Amino acid sequence: MFANWTFKDYCTFSAIFMWHTNMKRINFTLSIQKNLSHLIKWLNINDFNFFHIPPLLIL
């Protein structure tokens, strides 16, 4: 799977991974409701829905 990745794919994955890490950190300071609305707003403008369904279920 990783062997077929281009540099752009790697950058995109890294950005998504970093965003998730930041969201986890923000979870401690913001209310879950705020996170949820932010997450849903973010989902609506992105094509990477399959990356974000599990975090939504966790919340």
20, with CB counted inside 10 A (0-12, 13-18, 19+), is middle
Tell me the two tokens of residue 54: 């599990």
Q: What pLDDT score was predicted for residue 45?
A: 56
Total count of domains within the chain: 1
Q: What pLDDT score was predicted for residue 6?
A: 79
Q: What pLDDT score was predicted for residue 31?
A: 63
Q: What pLDDT score was predicted for residue 50?
A: 52
Residue 13 CB-half CA count within 13 A: 8
The boundaries of the domain holding residue 18 are 2-58
- Is pTM beyond 0.75? Reply is no
- What tens-digit pLDDT sequence spans the chain (59 residues)? 556 767 788 778 888 888 777 776 665 565 666 666 767 676 665 555 555 555 545 54
CA–CA separation, 33 and 39 (whole Å)? 10
32, with CB counted inside 10 A (0-12, 13-18, 19+), is exposed
